[in-house]
Every structure is written in structure tokens, then in C-alpha cells.
Structure 1
Amino acid sequence: MTDVTERRILHAFFHLPQGTRPDLYEQLLALTENLTPRVQAIPPDTAHLDITGSLRYWNRDPEGIAALLRMRTMALYGVQTTCTIAPTRMLATMAAAVTPPGATTVLEAHAVQAWLRPRPVAALHGVGPATATKRRSYGLHTIGDLADAPLPALTRIFGAATGRSLHAHAHGHDLRTVQPQPIAKSAGAERSYDQDVLDPVEHRRSLLELAEELGARLRDEHQAAGNLALSVRYADRSTSSRSRTLPEPTAHTRPLAATAYELYDSLGLQRARVRSISLRAQDLRPATEATEQLTLDPTDDRARAIETVTDRARARYGHGTIRPAALAATGGRRPGTPPTRGPRS
């Protein structure tokens, strides 16, 4: 088994022009697979390549492999590519954030700590700006500060799981490997009514039900959505649609439902005769690719703790064992009109 310090992970960011044809990204992925079979797509414009075994095959150093990739994407498709190479996926992604467009950065294992320590904690994988106030109050300004903090102190401040994760990342550790398997690009669910429904309260109840179902499916399949789309079909068979990119990729019901409500409100419906409502989670990616911002909001913590309990109960006893109060109060869906799973694509 290859030691993590000997791994070479290439983060490739393709500068796709606006209005590019839909299949261009897939063609670029196919091109990367000519360099190494271990390629993980990170839609819509990025890929991770494990080039550890390719160095000897191509008789090139990491920078030479990156140069070959950049030359091919430009010559064949006119696409500029920014490349960063590091021992782990996390480090390669972080290096990409400070690499000029079209350039290549190589971060060797012996230089990781010197490169990491002076950087702000917000640059670390899994940390967002929402934690800035609390971090500053504990004097954790740089990744070096975080690395020097005792693990028990970090778990006390941020919680057990997050504290351990931050401690590992601050030392440059990331056990994620490049996973070449394809993932679905979208998943949907639909709520159809037996008769036209004019009540906005019923519409919002359906949105919560659909968000709960989509979130559960995404968590079961270890995926996260980057975009949410809403479609409302009326009695005259016309349809209104809205979509929105989520602040961060997620599989949690609460942010999915909040975005669904915002999309619904943007339609400005007034006693519309609604026949069906559907939600579609789009821009899916592996859950490990979703950077979860630390909000330090106890309400979010409680909601996610309840979600974990609900997922366990559903896995053991089936869907609907534990439901949000807003759905349980009316039995959720009407008899004979279960939500219909949309096709995956």
C-alpha cells in the first residue's frame, strides 16, 4: 500500500467558457483518463487525478504530468487548465485556491507544514467564515495555531467529530482517496394532488415533505446537492420553474426545505390552482466533497442530531417512522397520493 506521503494527487480546474456545450466537461474527463485510470469527477469543472502510478509509466515528474494535461486540454479543446499537485486531496484543493489561472503548483510532502501553518484557519477544508468570531476569541488565527492546540481543547470548543477533523486537517492529514465511480447528476421527487390545491399552507407542507425525502435519499447514498430546482404544475397544465445554487452542497433537510420555500415565494403565487409540485436536487457530488461550514448554531446542531436519529429509525423500521411535526400533524400526504420519486440522471 502506498504511503500517504508518497501519493501524488493532481487537482485539475478546467476554465470552461460561458455557454460551453454540455458534453465538453465529459470529454475533458475522458482526456484525463488517458493519463491515469484513477480520476474522480467533481462537477461542473474540476477533477482529481491520482497520478502516483503514472509517473513511472509516463517517465515524467508530477509537474511534467501537469504540463502534459494542460497542453492537451488547450490543444484539443481550447480550454485552459490550472493544476495543483500535493500528497492529499485536501492539500491539492487548498493549493488550487492560491494558484494563478493556467499555472501549476507542486506541494511536496516535506514542505507541507511550512506551507500550511501561516495560512488562515478559514482556508482549511471544512471551515467557513461563520466560525471566525469564535476562533478569534480562542486565539486560533492560523492553521499553525490550530495545529498547536491540544486535541481535547478543540473537541471541547467545536465538538468531538469536528474537533478531531480540524486537528487532523491542520496537520495536513486527509484519508480520502480518489474514487473513480460515476455519480448521478440529479435526483427528484414529486407530490401530485388528487384535485387542484389552492392553499399555500398545503403547498409548503408538500415542499417540506419533498425536501425530507430528497435529503434522506442523498444521505443514504452519501451524496450532496449543489443546486435545487422547483417546478409547479397548474390545473391548465402550464408549469413554473425556479432553481438556485445552494450556499454550500448539502444533504440536510433543513437547508433544502429553506431553499425550497424561497423558490416557492419567488413565484408570487396567489390562490393558484396547483396540480403538482416537484423538487430536483442537482449538481450532485460525493458527500465527502461537500465542505460543511461550521455555523455554531445550536438549532442546526439539534436539527442534525434529530436527522441522525431519524435516519437510523428509517433504516431499521422503514420510511415515515419519525416525521417532522408539520407533517405528522396532518398525516403528511393525503391518502392515495404518495410522493413520486423522480428519475435519476
Structure 2
Amino acid sequence: MGGRAQGCTVLHVDMDAFFASVEVRRHPELAGTPVIVGGAGNRGVVTSATYEARRYGVHAAMPTARALRLCPTATVLPGDLSLYAEVSRSVMALFRSITPLVEPLSLDEAFLDVSGAGRRLGDPAEIGEYLRARVFDEQGITCSVGVAGSKFVAKLASTSAKPDGMRIVRPAEVMDFLHPLPVGALWGVGPKTEEQLLRLGMRTVGDLAHVPARTLQRALGPAAGAHLHELAWGRDPRRVVPDEPEKSTGHEETFGTDVDDPVVIHRELLLLSERTAGRLRSGGWLARTVSIKVRFADFATITRSRTLDVPTDVGQELYDTARALFDALGLDRARIRLVGVRAERLVEAGSAPQQLELGAREHGRRDAELAADRAARRFGAGAVRPATLLHRDGRPGRAGRPSAARPAAGGRTPGSTRGAPDRPAAGNPEG
């Protein structure tokens, strides 16, 4: 494919401050002002922020209270995951009208392989510009595009183009682009690995690239050392994989105040299990493994998991396992800040005949939950729920008040990601 982006067939498209941008579209009077999407109160957490807010140091995962100290004039909005998901579906449909090779990473970003679209739409750079214009015209939000010969470089290129820009990194330019970057820019380098690399004197990607692979492997382990050495030289053979199957999904909740009552924890686990099962059924998945996450008042966090004999999408079965995992911890009035339930090692429901082995009791539970799904689609979420989750007056009850609007990700929440339906979220909506 010729043109000014010759050799660049991979695009990484990332919406700019996605959740916050959609909110500004809905509230045009807020355009040009600092806007924060997230929870209010002492336990609230920032999910997304406009660039006007970021100039004050506000960023995703920051406590909202701290964000407001940095930027007192910011408007805080609770967020609307259903709206963001709707916009995401429209954007992904646009991408698929360009090429069938679209690999979403979260609600707000995706890789595209445009090697087959050149004859119809032109050079990859022209396709990138076309996508940016279409997203803005149709959705009223901006996106940034990285154009390169590999997924890794394309993603770094889109990050460098933010906000509302496009960066092309041709094959001959990869080293000049990569090597001045900090080592933390490499995929797989988290805070601990970055600290270790800095101690060894490797501050830039170029520093790391010129360390022998065997030395890196001795310092970081065989797999990690080889992986980072390849990336530092721009070598990333992975292809764009359309609609990669989701591997996990789940929900978690931060309590409004620390909780030490196991009855309250059990009720929250039941609610999270019901939500997770509903997501499994809507996606046509069964879970082989159930895991829980428990975060204590001092922010120490533990996880536990158990593999099921038979994959399931029944909320009661997820809850039974999650509760058993929690009770096995033997916590004695420990103050708990957050709990989560996740379904892992997902398999397609149609490919798991062992589901037919469920007994009458399990079938009855599943039929009841399917009926609840139908009621929810007709009358709204929570129209039917276990009696345990109702107050004495019959109104829906919660174990604790959520501190933030928590889109699960991803994404992909599911806390979702591709590879884990909950990526931020995937993915990070704070693009």
C-alpha cells in the first residue's frame, strides 16, 4: 500500500476522555470547562475527566475529594454506562464498516487492520483522517489515531497524538520514535518492573534496547526479559484479532462506609453474583471459575477463586461459591471497603453440553433467572430480585451505597477487557 503511511496497516483509535466527552456532548453548556465523571463523597473515585480538569492534575482513579481540591470549579457527574455503551456500539459499527478486522480493547478504543481497505479508501493515513472526521460528525466527540506497522507502536502513537490528533510512525521511523520514550511506556512494565529497571540504570526504551537480552532475562525472568527486549526494538508480531472471546466478567462495589457485618457482605455478594450472572447470560457465556476480591479499610486486597465442576450462568450458583470463598477467609469483624465477584474461564454456552447435566433444582434456578432477565428487559433493571435483597417495606435494598458510578468495564467491564470483558474498565476510559 503506497502513500505517506506506506507499510503502516495497523490503526489504534482511542476516544479522547471518552466518558467525560460524552457528558459534555449531553451538557453543551459545560464545553470548555473542567468536568469530572465519577462518584461524589469521601469514597468517590474519578472515572474520567476532561482535559480542562487534567490541567489541574486530575486523573482517573484519583479520589474525587482530592480532584476537587485540585480543581474546585470542576463539575462532577455520576456517569451513565448505558449511554457510553450505546455510543461505543455506534463507533465500533463505524470501524467495522471500514474493515472487518476490528479488535476492541474497551468501550473507547480498538485496533483496526486496514490492509484490505486501501483500494477502496486510500492510504492508511487517509483512512485515519476519515475515521476521525466521521466520529466527530456522527458522535460529537473527538478521537486520536495512531498509524503504524504493529499494534504496540500504533497504540503508543495514538497516545502521543492526544487529544484530537493523529500520529504516523513509518517502519523506518520506529527506532527514533520508541527509543527516547521512558521505559514505563513498554507494555508489561508496571510500577514494580519500572522501579527495577530504573535501579539498573535503564531510564529510556533505548537504554533497555541496548542491554543484551540475556542480561534482561537474568534480571526480569526469561519470559519478561525476552518480551521487553523485542518490544524495545519495535518487534510485535501479534495480528489484529477481531472480536476476541471474552475471558472474564464481573462486578465490584465500594461501600459508602467500611463494613464489618458478614450479613451485609453476604447480601452484597448475592447482588454482585446476580449482576454477573445476568451479564453471562446476555453474552451467551458460562463460567468455569468464580473469584472474589476483598479490599480492607487499609487498602490491602486479597482474591480467592474456585473452579466449578460444571460451568454455569446461574446467579445462585455463583453466589454459593462466592460466599463459601468469603466465609473460608475466617474474617473476624474485619473492616471491609470493597468486595467483588468475577466469573472467569468463560466458555460459550452452546459449546458446553455438560450444562445439560444440571439437576432439576439447578434448572429451576436458571429458569427463574431467565424469567427475571425478561422482566428486567421489559420493566427495567431490578424489577425482579431475590427477597434477600429487599428492604422490609419491599423496596430494593443495598448492602452499602456505591461511592462511584463504576462502569465495569469493561468491559468490556466488566472492569471489562478483551481478554477480560471489563477492561478499564479496559481499557481505560481516561483516554
TM over 0.5: yes
Shift of 1:204: 6.7
- Partner of 2:11, secondary structure, is strand
Structure 1 residue 243, shift from structure 2 partner:
6.8
- Which digits, 9 at most, give the CA deviation of each residue in 1:191-231, with x for residues without a partner? xxxxxxx984687799696342588843566xxxxxxxxxx
Instruction: Give 2:132's match in structure 1, choosing from 31, 52, 70.
Output: 70
| Shift, 1:91, TM fit | 0.7
TM-score (normalised: structure 1)? 0.59
Amino acid of the residue matched to residue 238 of structure 1? G
Q: 1:164 to 1:204 in 2, by over 3 A?
A: farther
CA shift for structure 1 position 241: 5.1
Q: Is the 8 A contact 2:246 2:346 kept in 1?
A: no
Match of 1:210 in 2: 292
1:238 and 2:238 are equivalent in the alignment: no
Measured in 2, the distance between the counterparts of 1:138 and 1:146 equals 10
**Residue number in structure 2 paired with 1:317:** none
How far did residue 183 of structure 1 move? Answer: 5.1
* Residue number in structure 2 paired with 1:54: 117
**Correspondence for 1:286:** 418
Q: Distance in 2 between matches of 1:245 and 1:127?
A: 29
* CA-CA distance at 1:147 after TM superposition: 1.1
Q: State the identity %.
A: 27
Counterpart amino acid of residue 162 in structure 1: A
* Residue 232 of structure 2 is aligned to residue 170 of structure 1: yes
Check whether the contact 1:14–1:46 (CA below 8 A) recurs between aligned residues: yes
* Distance (Å, rounded) in 1 between the aligned partners of 2:245 and 2:111: 14
- Is 1:83 the counterpart of 2:145 in the alignment? yes
**1:27 has 2:90 as partner:** yes
Distance change (3 Å), C-alpha of 1:81 and 1:281? closer
Matched with 1:266 is: none
Amino acid aligned to 1:284: S
CA apart distance, 1:55: 1.4
Q: Does 1:45 align with 2:108?
A: yes
Partner of 1:148: 210
Contact 2:178–2:234 under 8 Å retained in 1? yes
What does residue 111 of structure 1 align with?
173
- Describe the shift of the 1:42–1:241 C-alpha distance in structure 2 as closer, same or farther (beyond 3 A): farther
> Does the residue aligned with 2:177 lie in a helix, a strand or coil?
helix
For the residues of structure 2 that align with 1:154 and 1:162, how far apart are their CA atoms?
8
The CA distance in 2 between the partners of 1:101 and 1:189, in whole Å, is 30
Cα pair distance change 1:245/1:147, threshold 3 Å: farther
Does the C-alpha gap of structure 1 residues 288 and 282 become closer, same or farther in structure 2, counting only changes over 3 Å? Answer: closer
Runs of at least 5 residues in structure 1 that lack an aligned partner in the other structure:
191-197, 222-231, 251-279, 292-345
Contact 2:246-2:418 at 8 Å conserved across structures: no
**Larger deviation: 232-241 or 70-79?**
232-241
Query: Is the CA contact 2:98–2:117 (under 8 Å) kept in the aligned structure 1?
Result: yes
Find the counterpart in structure 2 of residue 316 from structure 1: none
1:121-140 CA deviation, whole Å, 9 max, x = no partner?
01111112333332122111
Go from structure 1 to structure 2 and tell me whether the alpha carbon gap of 1:138 and 1:101 turns closer, same or farther (over 3 Å shift).
same
Query: How far did residue 12 of structure 1 move?
Result: 0.9
How many residue pairs get matched? Answer: 241
1:189 Cα deviation after fit = 8.4
Judged with a 3 Å threshold, the aligned counterparts in structure 2 of structure 1 residues 282 and 138 are, in CA distance, closer, same or farther, namely same
Change (3 A) 1:137 1:180: same
Aligned CA RMSD, in angstroms, stands at 3.9
Q: Name the amino acid aligned to 2:102.
A: V
SS at 1:52's partner residue?
coil
Give the Cα–Cα distance (whole angstroms) in 2 for the partners of residues 288 and 116 of structure 1. 28
Contact kept in structure 2, 1:11 and 1:47, CA below 8 Å: yes
CA contact (8 A) 2:151 2:236 kept: yes
Q: CA separation of 1:18/1:69 partners in 2, compared to 1, >3 Å: closer, same or farther?
A: closer
* 1:101 counterpart (163, 180, 189): 163
d(CA) in 1 for partners of 2:405, 2:135: 27
Q: Which residue is 1:131 aligned to?
A: 193
CA distance in 2, matches of 1:31, 1:281: 22
How far apart in 1 are the matches of 2:137 and 2:343?
Answer: 41
> Residues 89 and 215 (structure 1 numbering): CA distance in 2 closer, same or farther, change over 3 Å?
farther
Which amino acid is the alignment partner of residue 98 of structure 1? S
Whether the 8 Å contact between 1:186 and 1:283 is mirrored in structure 2 is no
Corresponding letter in the other structure for 1:69: L
